[in-house]
Structure 1
Amino acid sequence: MTDNTSAAPKIRIRGLRKAFGSKIVLDGIDLDVPAESSFVIIGGSGSGKSVLLRCILGLIQPDEGLIEIDGVDVLRAPRREREERIGEIGMLFQNAALFDSLSVWENVAFGLLAPEPTRHSEKHPRLSRTEARARANAVLEQVGLDPSVGDLSPSELSGGMQKRVGLARAIADRPEILFFDEPTTGLDPIMGAVIDGLIVDCVKTMGSTAIAITHDMASAQRIGDEAAMLYQGKLVWRGPATSLMNSGNAMVDQFTHGRREGPISMELRR
């Protein structure tokens, strides 16, 4: 990928804090994600990974901090500008999160048909059903599914196929940013590798910026250019995704190798 080290980050986060009652979930997160790169965040259950994504998406309001997308502070920008920036994000949910009442192609084209005027622009116009079906067929092929699958209901699909449909929906509007929430959860190792390969191909083809959260170390190394570990609300390590299994950081090494003993276990025993 292109060297973006000297360019302004696509996503810039400073001093991000979020607590639920007395539970501090994000404790001063600083993070830059370069444009056209894939960034992976690892960490245990309850470490704040999903909360971080939801803050960027605008689904959760942080207590403090700054979140910039393309230099725009989405926490303080006017509503229209904020929605335009957040509208550039495509999301693959952990369990695909398909709508049972819609056909597969309607799931894929959901954002293209959405009635909200703020969701559409000259860059992302609302499409007719005929146009949306054609786009859905194209992205289904892009993720390795025959367009005829579009006429099925989500309940007729295997877990791997549902995940592909979720990915197709995430990329259907050609977003500049893609979020992946545990993309290989519930999949066998081979299908997990297939999904990871599709994610990498889609990111490279569209030139998107991607953030993935995962417990799957093989997936993290396949998807990521860079990686970071979130622990007790703080980013305790950042480095190349290829270094995840030999980071030299005691907490990262314990987590990635699944060791019972180490600094994380000592904290949990208190």
Structure 2
Amino acid sequence: MTSTTPRIRIRDLHKSFGSRTVLDGITFDVPAGMSLVIIGGSGSGKSVLLRCILGLITPDSGSIEINGEDIVAASEQRREKLRGEIGMLFQNAALFDSLPVWENVTFGLLAQKRIKRADARQKAASVLAQVGLDESVCDLYPSELSGGMQKRVGLARAIAAQPEILFFDEPTTGLDPIMGAIIDGLIVDCVKTLGSTAIAITHDMASAQRIGDQAAMLYKGRMVWQGAATSLMNSGNPLVDQFTHGRREGPISMELRK
């Protein structure tokens, strides 16, 4: 990869399920070290896009390059290796209920045999410290954690392998505004510390502006706007303005009334 090669490059990506088109010609770049926030209503294609980049769904056409390598054309073995280099914070943390926190945090490292089991708890403790959690949390189970603590553990798991790429799926869902701001601050700190490239999908406009350098909106499977995250609330795009301000009237609601 050269210094000018985007960390992630998407070109003319299409994906349909039966007669329903979910991604309709998506094209964008995410340079190394940048955080991109993707917004859009339910069913706009955000989650499918992430799953395509992760290699969990195969697009119908188009290319997805990571560090200049087209993962669509790569073997399953190669895609599996690339997935191991991406950290993911899931919408509801998606922790394993039957495992203590330290095993949740180091699950990927243990599965890939990148750490010895004897060293895993101490590794988990050091990563948990990065998200503001004490070592005593290591031996708790997810059911013993608050929603905010679960998100922190999920973030710790995402950064444990120091990945070059981080994905965040609705990182503040289910959190109160203060805890949401805390999680966003931790995300920004972790991304900067690691020097990672990040993509987040969210419905939370305050969160989007806190964690994103750039932002984009998906609508009916198309990317209808891209710009600075600080411009989200005054984009000048009718679709974006209606969505970000939560207005009932506008081009989106008019189509819903048909």
Q: Indicate the TM-score class for this superposition, using the shorter chain for normalisation.
A: over 0.9
Counterpart among 61, 65, 81 of residue 62 in structure 2: 65
Counterpart among 98, 103, 111 of residue 101 in structure 1: 98
Aligned AA for 2:9? Answer: R
Q: What is the match of residue 236 of structure 1?
A: 224
> Are 1:217 and 2:184 counterparts?
no
SS in 1 for 2:44: coil
Distance 2:238 2:5 in 1: 31
> Are 1:9 and 2:6 counterparts?
yes
Instruction: State the Cα distance separating 1:133 from its structure 2 match.
Output: 1.4
Q: Give 4+ residue runs of structure 1 displaced > 6 Å after superposition.
A: none
> Are 1:90 and 2:78 counterparts?
no
Counterpart among 147, 158, 167 of residue 179 in structure 1: 167
> Are 1:254 and 2:234 counterparts?
no
Query: What are the equivalent positions in structure 2 for 1:86-235 lying under 5 Å apart?
Result: 86-114=83-111, 119=112, 126-235=114-223
Aligned AA for 1:50? Answer: S
SS in 2 for 1:242: helix
Q: What is the match of residue 33 of structure 2?
A: 36
Q: Which runs of 5+ in 1 are unaligned?
A: 1-5, 120-124
SS in 1 for 2:52: helix
Distance 1:105 1:219 in 2: 28
Aligned AA for 1:60? Answer: I
Map Cα deviations across residues 62-106 of structure 1 (whole Å, 9 max, x no partner): 111100000100011233433332221100000000000100110
User: What TM-score do the two structures reach when normalised by structure 2?
Assistant: 0.97
Q: What is the match of residue 44 of structure 2?
A: 47
Map Cα deviations across residues 117-166 of structure 1 (whole Å, 9 max, x no partner): xx4xxxxx621112221211011010000011010000000000000000
Q: Give the RMSD, CA atoms, in angstroms.
A: 1.0
Q: Which runs of 5+ in 2 are unaligned?
A: none
Aligned length: 256
Map Cα deviations across residues 173-218 of structure 1 (whole Å, 9 max, x no partner): 1111000000000000000000000000000000000000000000
Q: What is the match of residue 74 of structure 1?
A: 71
